[in-house]
């Protein structure tokens, strides 16, 4: 899998992956994101160079956004973490989400930081379990906009020898 920074011309591809994921979640009674996913939520992060597309044999299989601060969810913090948002994988490539999180770990280490942080809706028990099974620890819950969110972090593993 190859992960590359998304360009403004690839906005529709990013939105398509996120919308597919939002629709799949909604079909299972999980309200994580709006469907269709709002393009305006993605456009600014693409412009800032924070959103990436994952490809396998040239085909878009997923997306992830990695930021170096996240005051809306985490408040002001020292520069010790990377913050993940919008992790989504096309259904036929289910299972690659863990690889995207490992990719994010690597980027955080390259930046000289130690922690990978993310959030999800507090009422999304399945996603919370998914993150916990991948080594994320619940830190606290908070309210952002009109929803309750749970904040998670994990220490990035040391670089492989």
pLDDT value, residue 28: 87
Q: Pick from 100, 141, 104, 94: which is nearest to 121 by CA?
A: 141
pTM confidence score: 0.94
> Mean pLDDT, to the nearest integer, of 68-95?
95
Confidence of residue 78 (pLDDT cuts 50, 70, 90): very high
pLDDT value, residue 161: 46
Residue with the two structure tokens 């305006």 = 40
Tens of pLDDT along 2-28?
999 999 999 999 999 999 999 998 998
List, in order of start, the domains of the chain with CATH numbers. 2-117 (3.40.630.30)
Tens of pLDDT along 101-156?
999 999 999 999 999 999 999 999 989 999 999 999 999 999 998 889 999 999 99
Q: Does the CA dihedral 130-73-79-77 come out positive or negative?
A: negative
Tens of pLDDT along 104-119?
999 999 999 999 999 9
CA–CA separation, 85 and 99 (whole Å): 15
């Amino acid at each position: 899998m190859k992960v590359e920074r998304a360009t403004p011309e690839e906005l529709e591809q990013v939105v398509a992956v996120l919308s597919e994921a939002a629709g799949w979640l909604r079909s299972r009674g999980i309200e994580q994101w709006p469907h269709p996913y709002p393009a305006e939520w993605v456009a600014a992060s693409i412009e800032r160079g924070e959103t990436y597309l994952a490809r396998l044999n040239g085909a878009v299989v997923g997306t992830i956004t990695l930021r170096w601060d996240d005051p809306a969810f985490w408040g002001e913090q020292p520069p010790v973490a990377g913050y993940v948002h919008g992790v989504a994988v096309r259904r036929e490539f289910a299972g690659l989400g863990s690889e995207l999180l490992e990719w994010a770990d690597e980027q955080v280490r390259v930046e000289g930081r130690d922690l990978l942080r993310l959030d999800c809706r507090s009422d999304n028990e399945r996603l919370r379990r998914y993150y916990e099974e991948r080594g994320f620890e619940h830190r606290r819950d908070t309210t952002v906009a009109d929803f309750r969110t749970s904040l998670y972090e994990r220490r990035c593993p040391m670089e492989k020898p």
